[in-house]
């Protein structure tokens, strides 16, 4: 089963987790990380790293963030490159997570990423999808040698 790390500004992450648990019961392999004003990005990264390790059973972890490019998204993006089967999703909402919750058990991390973005909700994207729009710069050594 895919682990979920819900990370949003203020108390949104914890609120979403509480509402999901009210609907589906206790959520295993799911943690909320709230990003409060004044919290250092170093502390945020440490909290998210702890959540990553608590939720990962080997099938992968999905970081579910509220805003693309914001501190929780950036921290998740940095961590995702160091761990296999990690995906970063931005633009989440409670209704979207309610729809996607049952698919945690059946989809791979890449399939889940594609499915949540395919829901077509405005503003929902993934780190992978953003990277496809802007591929990383590749330095070709010796390109300009005489």
Q: Which of 9, 53, 140, 141 is catalytic?
A: 9
Beta-bridged to residue 88, according to DSSP, are 63
- Check: CB of residue 113 under 8 Å from CB of residue 60: no
Cβ proximity of 62 and 113 under 8 Å: yes
Angle (CA) 66-80-126 rounded to 5° is 45
* Dihedral sign computed on CA atoms, order 24, 36, 42, 137: positive
Q: Rounded distance, CA 133 to CA 115, Å?
A: 18
Map tokens 């805003």 to a residue.
67
Respond yes or no: is residue 9 known to be catalytic: yes
Annotated catalytic sites, by residue?
9
């Amino acid at each position: 089963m895919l682990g979920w790390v819900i990370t949003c500004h203020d108390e949104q992450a914890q609120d979403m987790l509480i509402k999901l648990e009210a609907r589906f019961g206790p959520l295993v392999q799911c943690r909320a990380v709230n990003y409060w004003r004044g919290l250092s990005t170093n502390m945020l990264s440490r909290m998210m790293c702890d959540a990553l390790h608590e939720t990962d059973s080997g099938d992968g972890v999905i970081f579910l963030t509220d805003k693309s490019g914001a501190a929780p998204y950036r921290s998740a993006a940095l961590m995702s490159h160091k761990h296999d089967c990690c995906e970063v999703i931005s633009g989440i909402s409670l209704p979207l997570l309610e729809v996607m919750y049952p698919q945690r058990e059946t989809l791979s991390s890449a399939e889940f990423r594609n499915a949540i973005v395919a829901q077509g909700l405005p503003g929902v994207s993934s780190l992978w999808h953003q990277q496809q729009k802007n591929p990383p710069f590749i330095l070709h050594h010796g390109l300009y040698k005489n």
